[in-house]
Amino acid sequence: MGWTIIMEDEKGNPIRTMPEELNLTGERIPRNEKFLLLKKVVPFGDATFNASMMDELITELKELASMLPGDKQQIDEVISYALECKASKLTRLTFYGD
């Protein structure tokens, strides 16, 4: 079980897709009161974040990487997508659950 991560334009058209699903060790994002955005990412749903949310999303992803060091490489790849979205104001990042 994992999430397909896609950077999309403002109309939802895919721009770039992570080559592999994000599969975390615990299969879920751990509960953390700091995760205002990541708490919306659930295994069987979709969560979309626009460019204005990228700073917070990046902060939360870095915290997640520190909590799950075995998944750091995958999470760093998601961060690279988030940085790209931040640079382009008309994009969004969507996590598609199973």
Whether 31 shows a pLDDT value over 90: the answer reads no
3-class SS of residue 97 = coil
Of 21-25, 48-52, 59-63, 88-92, the one with minimum mean pLDDT is 21-25
CB 74 within 8 A of CB 23: yes
% of the chain at pLDDT higher than 70? 98
pTM score, whole prediction: 0.92
Q: How wide is the angle at C-alpha 81 spanned by C-alphas 72 and 44, nearest 5°?
A: 75
For the beta sheet containing 46-50, the strands, ordered from the edge strand earlier in sequence to the opposite edge, are 14-17, 4-9, 91-96, 46-50
